[in-house]
Chains A and B, each alone.
Chain A
Amino acid sequence: MKPRTKRAVAIVGGLAALGVAAALVLNAFQSNLVFFFTPTQVAKKEVPLDRNFRVGGLVEGGTVVRHKDALNVSFKITDGAESVPVTYTGILPDLFKEGKGVVAEGRVGTDGVFKASQVLAKHDENYMPPEAAEALKQAGHPMAKENFAGQGGGNPR
């Protein structure tokens, strides 16, 4: 390659990298900085009803119902103040548990039920062996509950 061609390729490459970075940033700012909405926001209708969005919170205890074929599941996502009923067909992540963090993507149907196309588990930043977790749980330590890192669940804004 001639030095001039080489330089041109490099400049185009650099600009392309910058362009991709800028596009990613803009894309993120546009719709993804709000990665999920809280159940309170859903209740207040502060969500885009005409397109898919995500709801995040904790899986409400005692609301998980697995239907006969086991792939159909319904549960409620709560943030302590409000809760959203969700139905989902598919394989749930291993960390999906009652009382633990969850983010579901989908849209609200006419019946008011959130029909999820994807369910992701959101785990907390605590790392400890099972015995320690059990001990904390028995002592009623808040660490066992505060698994939403101050985001969404538990403290609606």
Chain B
Amino acid sequence: MRAPEFFRGMRQVAVQELLVNLKSLRLIIMALVSALVIVGGAYGFSGLGSGGGFPGGLPPVVVWPHAAYNATGSHVAVVWVSDPFGGPQAGRTVDLEALGPNGTVPLAKIATDGNGFVRHDVGGTDVIAATVTVGSFQTGTTISFPPQPQNFTYDIIQGDLDRDGSDDEMAIHVVNVSGDVVPAQIAVNGTSVGSTDAHGYLQFDLPRGDSIVNVTVAGETQTFPATVRGGSGGPTFASGPDTVLIIIAALSGFIVSLFGVVLSFDAVSKERVQGTMDLLLSRPASRSGILLGKFLGAFAAVALPVTLVNLAGIGVIAAVSGKSPTGSFAAAFLGLSLLLIATYVLLQLSLSTIAKTSGTAILFGVLAWLLFNLLYPIITFVIGAALFANDPAGYFHFSLVSGLGSPTQVYFLLIGLAAPQSLAGSGGTAVDPILPEAAAVAWIVLLLLLALWTFHKRGPE
């Protein structure tokens, strides 16, 4: 079936535009630049880019000690070694020493098994020191054997595991009296937060203030208190995968918009310059179909590499931080990047239609990018500062509203809105979300109509 008249020719032009763009040098260059900025930025801001250190307070390994007993009542030192997020660390050397009144006595150096465990019979020794060294990092713990064995033992760590500035994460590791993994149900203030995994590990969030944590194994429950103190627990704009993603999204706003400009600035004008416009317009295709095809082709050519680079950036953040950014935020970042691409490609289609030569088209493209990414923010900043010199709240609202006049600023506002609430201080969550959302839709609709109109009027001329 033929496409309705309005869309006639859209598919053919879109496929052609996409194929030509995918083979173009400028796409390869821009994809590399985007990858460098977004993936490189993700790596650098996530911490490891600084040269192999472990910034931000998270240790590379955590040692979980347990006092276990064998059938004859002999003491068994059980040590589980994992990363802070419960990933077992196989092959780590655990240095076991006996602690007594006469000082320390080396007992054994044993590598963890495939599940990260070391189990070593220490006879009647009551206190054992267990130490693990990773490069220059060393962590240790002690294991005390009480006179009355417990049916199961647990060990906990509490801290800022998601690196959002708040020590509101807890991880627990549970084994039974024999030192084997058993399923344990964990509840915080009476509400279940999950069960330990196949390695005996569970990470969960704690509410602010005091809490009671229950650990239940085979119907037997042990209880301990936990506290999350203070406000947010630290500076909000500090670290964590979501924060890194905000920084990446801000950089991406400039790069992605430039990518859209570079790839589509001559989408229409090159047909005229090449002399292929008349042959194209004489085909059984409507002008709207041709323009929409140009849009879809250029959009897809930018969106494909940008989405791949964005996904790689998110992957690098997750790999380096050890924790993925919030799923909804990551999805919003991917979607908003596409929205930004669409906006700039549509803008360029109008400018490209008006431009008579490739030189003019490049000039228009660069000027439009500079206008929305540099000049407009500076001008509105100056005006805002002059109008609201002694009124910070007024200036804040002015900047939120004036930001709607630039597609890139709208993107930044929407990124701020999509960021998790814990990062509220860094974004624009104080603004009514309907404004930037409506502005984003309005930009797309207006630019689409403008592109259709200019191409209809000026396409062949």
Is the pairing of A and B real? Answer: no
